[in-house]
Structure 1
Amino acid sequence: MIPKERMLSGRLYHMTADEELTKDYIRCKRLLTAFNHMTEYDTEKQDAIIRELFGKIGKGFHVEPPFRCDYGKQILAGDHLYINCDCIIIDVCPVTIGNHVLIGPRVGIYTAAHPVDASVRNTGLEYGRPITIGDNVWIGGGATLNPGVTIGENSIIGSGSIVTKDIPPNVIAAGNPCRVLRPVTEEDAIYWKGKELDYLQDKDAPPIP
């Protein structure tokens, strides 16, 4: 099994021992340099780079620079993704992101891990675990998603949280380690629909794009 296949399957691999992985890594850094060092605010050019960088990206997305990732090809995102500044995605395994996902500033999404045994770790061998983020998830600023976790649809991760285990759908979760605080309820929907109606009925408020 070649190193890239080992990496994507979650087995131990060595990145610097494989020419294909090295080429993919360099390609990623070249694209990120162009994306992060644009002198003008040109969304068309930025979006074109993200489309080339990611393995999959839907419509209506925006990624705020600076942004970092290892390969880009393992990032598989749906429609209407928003990523705020200083996000880091270590995508040695797939990072699957649903539709209408909000990712706050300085969020870390880390699929990479290292052996617990120091003698093996010191060889440079590492491995990864995939991360999945469901539809309509909001990840607050400064949160960290560790290897192998899944965030269920419609859930909210509080700022600064350290996610080490799966978070179920339709909950608000926060903390270190991140834990469920409460469900997202019908009362929440009624409250926020009321706020939305107030906006829509305000003649001075601009229309929602």
Structure 2
Amino acid sequence: MDKNMKNMLAGKPYIPTKEQGKISHKAHRLCQEYNAIPDTDKKARDAIIDELLGEHGNGTYLQGSIQIDYGVFTEVGDNFYSNFNLTILDTCPVKIGNNVMFGPNVTLATPLHPLLPEQRNDRILADGTVGHYEYGAPITIGDNCWFASNVTVCVGVEIGNNCVIGAGAVVTHNIPDNSLALGVPAKVVRQLSESDRIKNWPF
């Protein structure tokens, strides 16, 4: 792993190069193959997940379609479930705990670009090629979380254990354990407690 790749994973400015391209092109191909496989063909799907993700626990299920940028920089724990249209941009590490459930259209995005165009746009680099710099920050999600549909988790966010993120939320700041967070940007509206237990549930 060269210095530029190490900078990318560390959240420092880096230049997208052929080294990154090889990894991301492979991940994009694997996602395309996964999306073409019927969800009844568990063996073929599991083989792609094994190759795509950096680490995963038992019981990983991705309904598809999936769009994952690198894959090898994403780790998921046991019993991870994602509904339709999962997107993970893992230029920095993404770590997801055990027993996490995602609704449809969840996006986890670790990349950042400068706000000022003169820092963001392509330029002639020191080696004479045309390119630009990017940077990012990791995303970490704890155990026993549920994200409803259309949740976006932004760069650098840490979400604690036992959290529920409401539909359509855009999470821009860290969320502590046992929180219900709603809105754009997402805000903690209250702590989850025993009072949230559903009556007459089977257990």
Cα RMSD (Å): 1.3
1:188 maps to which residue? 196
Moved over 6 A (4+): none
- What SS does the corresponding residue of 1:41 show, helix, strand or coil? coil
**Counterpart code for 1:14:** I
Matches within 5 A, 1:66-85: 66-85=65-84
Matches within 5 A, 1:1-209: 2-15=3-16, 18-39=17-38, 41-123=40-122, 124-189=132-197, 191=198, 194-197=200-203
Identify the structure with bigger relative contact order (alpha carbons < 8 Å, sequence gap 6+).
Answer: 2
- What SS does the corresponding residue of 1:195 show, helix, strand or coil? coil
2:128 maps to which residue? none
Stretches of structure 1 lacking an aligned partner (at least 5 in a row):
198-209
2:127 maps to which residue? none
User: Cα distance, 1:13 vs. partner?
Assistant: 1.0
Stretches of structure 2 lacking an aligned partner (at least 5 in a row):
123-131
User: Cα distance, 1:32 vs. partner?
Assistant: 1.1
**Counterpart code for 2:75:** L
Q: Distance in 2 between matches of 1:136 and 1:56?
A: 18
User: Cα distance, 1:151 vs. partner?
Assistant: 0.8
1:144-185 alpha-carbon deviations (Å, 9 max, x no partner): 000000111000000100100001110111000100111111
Q: Please say if residues 111 and 155 of structure 2, whose CA atoms lie closer than 8 Å, have aligned partners that are also in contact.
A: yes
Q: Please say if residues 163 and 177 of structure 2, whose CA atoms lie closer than 8 Å, have aligned partners that are also in contact.
A: yes
Q: Distance in 2 between matches of 1:9 and 1:54?
A: 19
Q: Please say if residues 39 and 45 of structure 2, whose CA atoms lie closer than 8 Å, have aligned partners that are also in contact.
A: no
**Counterpart code for 2:164:** I
1:30-52 alpha-carbon deviations (Å, 9 max, x no partner): 21121011257301111110111
User: Cα distance, 1:26 vs. partner?
Assistant: 1.2
Q: Please say if residues 39 and 63 of structure 2, whose CA atoms lie closer than 8 Å, have aligned partners that are also in contact.
A: no
Q: Distance in 2 between matches of 1:47 and 1:83?
A: 14
User: Cα distance, 1:136 vs. partner?
Assistant: 0.2
Greater helix share, 1 or 2? Answer: 1
User: Cα distance, 1:196 vs. partner?
Assistant: 2.1
Residue-pair matches, total: 193
**Counterpart code for 1:186:** E
Q: Distance in 1 between matches of 2:107 and 2:28?
A: 18
Identity value in percent: 39
Q: Distance in 2 between matches of 1:183 and 1:196?
A: 24
User: Cα distance, 1:53 vs. partner?
Assistant: 0.3
Q: Distance in 1 between matches of 2:179 and 2:23?
A: 37
- What SS does the corresponding residue of 2:201 show, helix, strand or coil? helix
